[in-house]
Amino acid sequence: MGEIKARGVSLTFQTADGPVHALKDVSLTIGKGDFVSFIGPSGCGKTTFLRTIAALETPTAGQIRVNGMGADEARRARAYGYVFQAPGLYPWRTISGNISLPLEIMGFSKAERRERIARVLDLVELSGFGGKYPWQLSGGMQQRASIARALAFDADILLMDEPFGALDEIVRDRLNEALLELWRKTRKTIGFVTHSIPEAVYLSTRIVVMSPRPGRISRIIESTLPRERPLEIRDTPEFIRVAHEVREGLREGQSYD
């Protein structure tokens, strides 16, 4: 479980200024346990593609299979945990209450909710903060809580749309490290949208470079970095080589216009 297959996916929005080709003929296979980053300039369709996988958008052509099901079927089977750029925690619920929310909706028993909340809080290193309200936590801690919320119901696939984009670099480094640790522990399939080349290279097993107008994949880079990645790996020649390749891919995508 946790496999995503996209075949010839296109998505065209009809706007007042005529059709906008957000995605054009995108094909990609994400294997179970992969960590795939999507990188590209604004308007390249990386967020739209992630949303299409989660069945938050419906493609106008092509198809997406997730765990052998259609994307919407997979959504109804609760295959996805989605993390947005903003934590989106409810201010009227405590951290525990926020993590409990999807569990309540999915009908978990009270005892099981309590057990799961404790487990995911531990996973994102927020044990002891369950009784706090979101505004009592820093931005980085809030985002960790929102990741815990996405993990709580054991979806196979974690989709993250620039989850650390609004945080400063120091917090970001720390959370990147924690996310890798979490990925190793939970063996989830992760789709991760980012603007940052170092972040994409540091985290991913595969980096999908996308380009705009129409949104499409311009290059797929397999990372040659080992799975075990201390932060210092970013100073190794290997890391710099992969980052260089990503940068080249981005430049190539722009040469069209």
Partner 1 sequence: MSRALPVLTVLSVIVLVWYGAAIGLNAPWARDQAARAGEALSPRQLVERTMTQERPVLPAPHQVAKGLWDGITGQKITSKRSLVWHGWITLSATLAGFAIGSLAGILLAVGIVHSRVVDLSVMPWAVASQTVPILAIAPMVIVVFASAGVTGLLPKAMISAWLSFFPVLVGMVKGLRMPDAMQMDLMRSWNASRAQVFWRLRLPSAMPYLFASLKVAVAAALVGTIVGELPAGATAGLGARLLSGSYYGQTIQIWAALFAAAALAAGLVAIIAGIERATLRRMGLAR
Q: Which residues bind partner 1 (CB under 8 A)?
A: 51, 54, 56, 75-76, 78, 80-82, 84, 86, 88, 90-94, 101-102, 104-106, 133, 135, 153
Q: Compare residues 47 and 194 and give the one whose CB is closer to partner 1.
A: 47
Residue pair 198/243 in contact (Cβ under 8 Å)? The answer is yes
Distances from the Cα of 234 to the Cα of 17, 27, 170, 231, angstroms:
43, 30, 14, 6
- Tell the smallest beta-carbon distance from residue 12 to partner 1 (Å): 20
Helices 95-105, 110-123: inter-axial angle, 10-degree rounding: 130
- Tell the smallest beta-carbon distance from residue 101 to partner 1 (Å): 7
- Tell the smallest beta-carbon distance from residue 221 to partner 1 (Å): 28
Give the helix/strand (H/E) hosting 206: strand 206-211
Euclidean distance between CA atoms 4 and 32, whole angstroms: 8
- Tell the smallest beta-carbon distance from residue 105 to partner 1 (Å): 5
Residue pair 100/87 in contact (Cβ under 8 Å)? The answer is no
The tokens describing 13, both together, are 């929005």
- Tell the smallest beta-carbon distance from residue 66 to partner 1 (Å): 13
Q: Compare residues 101 and 233 and give the one whose CB is closer to partner 1.
A: 101
Q: Compare residues 31 and 131 and give the one whose CB is closer to partner 1.
A: 131
Q: Compare residues 56 and 171 and give the one whose CB is closer to partner 1.
A: 56
Q: Compare residues 84 and 173 and give the one whose CB is closer to partner 1.
A: 84
Output DSSP code: residue 97: H
